[in-house]
Amino acid sequence: MASTSETGHAKNVANLDELISFVGGYGVVYNPSKPAIKLPALQALSTAAKAAIGAVNSANPAYSNAVAAREVAFAPLGKLTTRILNALKATDTTTQVDESAQTIVRKLQGRRATPKKSEDEVKALAAEGKEVNEISTSQMSYDSRLDNFDKLIKLLTSVTLYAPNEAELKVAALTTLYNDLKTKNAAVIAASTPLSNARITRNDVMYKPNTGLVDVALDTKTYIKSVFGASSPQYKQISKLGFKVVES
């Protein structure tokens, strides 16, 4: 299903085409002095808008696919790191090593070292005159998770006692996984650039003040109103054609 914003962009272009059709039907009576609302300019604007929307539509699948692939690849990381931690604790490592690993795993899983206070607890402390400032410790961005996973692997590499028999828990396998996650994250970043640029171009064509489709179409409607009158059949033809800036 198309998003509201995608539908909105297409609707603006469709309404412009309908407006152009009516303008063409007015013949020589439609003779504005402003170049941007002359019939050939309106037709060129429609062509440019369709191309700009098409460029966004063409760039979007690569980005969406990269995002989906990254999400699937990162999804098992939480359970995997719990297994890694348990495998480490099952050896004769020191408490300090276990705690260091646990701190990294907690960050990877977006958990706090101490539970966040409830609203009632915050109110009770406030009543005692104690201010509570709980800083978010979540590091769940993909870049942060990659960084913390790398730290965990390096920690495990330094611990000679960490030598699990399970293939997927071995340092070599974890390193391979890290490289795959890093590649998939980079693919999202790479795919986001052409999509972002395409959206910038589309928004300029569609919504740039004075020269964008919306403002030009509204100026066209105003000119038609001035030529034929607000109560004329010609203006009634186009008065309900809506043109709105779409945020996306």
Helix (H) or strand (E) holding 186: helix 171-207
Q: What mean pLDDT comes out for the span 235-242?
A: 96
The per-residue pLDDT for range 67-83, each reduced to its tens digit, is: 999 999 999 999 999 99
Given a contact cutoff of 8 angstroms between Cβ atoms, the answer to whether 52 and 198 are in contact is yes
Q: What is the DSSP letter of 116?
A: P
pLDDT digits (tens, 9 = 90+) for 131-160: 545 444 445 799 999 999 999 999 999 999
Higher pLDDT, 175 or 112: 175
- 158 Cβ contact partners less than 8 Å away, ≥ 6 residues apart: none
Residues 32-37 have a mean pLDDT of: 97
pLDDT of residue 28: 97
The whole-number average pLDDT for the span 87-93 is 96
Q: Which of 6-20, 99-113, 130-144, 158-172 has the lowest mean pLDDT?
A: 130-144
pLDDT the model gives residue 111:
76
Residue 171 has pLDDT above 60, yes or no: yes
pLDDT at residue 128 above 80?
no
Average pLDDT, rounded, for the chain: 90
The pLDDT of residue 113 is: 52
What local confidence, expressed as pLDDT, does residue 137 receive?
Answer: 45
Residue 97 makes CB contacts below 8 A (sequence gap 6+) with 88, 155, 159
User: Which pTM does this prediction carry?
Assistant: 0.77
